[in-house]
Amino acid sequence: MPYFIYILKSQTAGKYYIGSSENPERRLQFHNTMEKGFTSRYRPWEIVFCQQFESKTEAQLAERKIKFWKSKKMVERLISGEINI
């Protein structure tokens, strides 16, 4: 079953959120309505990047790699297509 990494961007604060899911659209809805943590403070969110992987394990490895960067500029380069995971 395919699995995805996704990057959300806050439409109000310009912050990014990186996650993985088998249904990124459903997760977006969750972040914009129900979630009470980090993402609730910066609503609304939009999906600005999504990439499919063959397995949950591959997607989670890519998610960890992006989070390890700890760099907004690197995330923006990924979103623009300048770099790949």
Asked if 17 contacts 50 with a C-beta cutoff of 8 angstroms, the reply is no
| pLDDT over 90 (residue 15) | yes
Q: What's the pLDDT band for 35 if we cut at 50, 70, 90?
A: confident
Backbone angles phi, psi at 18, to 5 degrees: -110, 130
| pLDDT over 90 (residue 20) | yes
C-alpha angle 3-74-45 in degrees, rounded to nearest 5:
60
pLDDT at 56: 97
Residue 42: C-alpha distances to residues 35, 38, 60, 79 (Å)? 11, 8, 24, 19
pTM (2 d.p.): 0.95
Beta-bridge partners for 46 = 9
| pLDDT over 90 (residue 2) | yes
- CATH of region 3-80: 3.40.1440.10
| pLDDT over 90 (residue 1) | no
- Sorted by where each begins, the domain ranges of the chain are 3-80
